[in-house]
Amino acid sequence: MAGVGARALVLIPGLLDFIQTWNRGVSFSLFWQDGDKGRYVLIAVLASVVLLVAVLAWRSTNRLQAAGYGLVIGGALGNLIDRSLNGAVFDYLFLHLGPAPLFVFNFPDVAISAGVLLLAADTLKAARTVPDS
């Protein structure tokens, strides 16, 4: 979480700050890339994942599923464009509990997380409607 705390603007005291940091990895800064080769490999892998999710979205069977996939694709494309143009993703929301840091994220990350929650809700809904055999 490089840059956390530097020039932070408090949005919700003890919980959320606005900061400026560049994430050269993926979620939670995993697979951190400093060179162009690693960045291009990461872009290719992420673009492939977006295409796979797009196929799943095309095959969705209801609106909840389609909305979930749409949010995941939209957030992933936002981060992918940022990474392609800038070499990293601009993260600017720092979530923490008092002095304990949790993570730094952006609105595309929120869209991805919301999409995953909708897909989980759809899965739970489908599991509840399956008749007992």
Tens digit of each residue's pLDDT, the chain (133 residues): 444 545 789 999 999 999 999 988 766 556 666 777 877 888 898 899 999 999 999 999 999 999 999 999 999 999 999 999 998 899 999 999 999 999 899 999 999 999 999 999 999 988 887 666 5
User: What per-residue confidence (pLDDT) applies to 1?
Assistant: 47
> What global pTM score does this model have?
0.82
State how far the Cα of 27 lies from the Cα of 37, in Å rounded to an integer.
19
Which residues are designated catalytic? 91, 109
Cβ–Cβ < 8 Å for 1, 29: yes
pLDDT at position 29, please?
58
Nearest to 50 by CA among 93, 20, 84, 85: 84
Contact 66, 57 (CB under 8 A): yes
DSSP 61: -
The pLDDT of residue 100 is 96
Q: Where along the chain do its domains lie?
A: 35-101
- Which pLDDT does position 3 carry in this prediction? 46
